[in-house]
Structure 1
């Protein structure tokens, strides 16, 4: 019984690593073909909408608490990392764990990230944290969810 469990564990790890590796190669090829250096440090509704609609290689991180997301909704294509967890996730979580948890590849220090929250204040703090950790392309959606909700209705 123990041998079969070990064998299944080895097979699972091999398949998972293989899938992660091939996804990683695809993402790297896509990253090289898409350039987003034109995003300003503070981004607008139009910038976020364009990134969402064009399925660009920009990671959108909503730093609100999960209960807030349930009450209001989420930005298309975003992942949720509450502000209080952001620094440890960006510093300490392995690439594999990040991918398993969020379904997205962990950003490198040169990968563009847009931070969002309810109104732009917590996302400004998130941007500052990321910049202190060496992330060179950290952006703040200054209008946040309130701006998104208002403008996406029209």
Structure 2
């Protein structure tokens, strides 16, 4: 099986994680303009070009900048998303390179979410 296949998450799986609501760390990597038009509840906004820097920060700097605790490297519920999947995939790869072994990409992104959630 291709490595990227294991790094993808579907709408259904994301919905389950959101409903469970415990440890999900959902990162929206779209532009501020895109986020202003709508977002997945509970997501935090870190533009794709800032992901590498953000996830390389020390935990205190991260919390100061983003207002939430930095997820641990072994976080099992770290999910990135963009509008349609490409930038989310880039962000997921960067996180994996930094040691976030379980990082995943919501491949159909906000486009699918907004269609299903209204």
Which TM bucket (shorter chain)? 0.7 to 0.9
Aligned to 2:3: none
Larger Rg: 1
Residue by residue over 1:103-140, the C-alpha shift from the partner in whole angstroms, topping out at 9 and shown as x without a partner, is 32101210131000000110001111111111111001
Q: What RMSD, in angstroms, separates the aligned Cα atoms of the two structures?
A: 1.3
1:142 aligns with one of 85, 104, 107: 107
Q: How does the TM-score come out when normalised to structure 2?
A: 0.88
**How many residue pairs align between the two structures?**
112
Aligned to 1:55: 21
Q: How does the TM-score come out when normalised to structure 1?
A: 0.68
Provide runs of 4+ in structure 1 moved above 6 Å: none
Point out where structure 1 has 5 or more consecutive residues left out of the alignment: 1-39
Aligned to 2:65: 101
Greater share of helix = 1
Point out where structure 2 has 5 or more consecutive residues left out of the alignment: 1-5
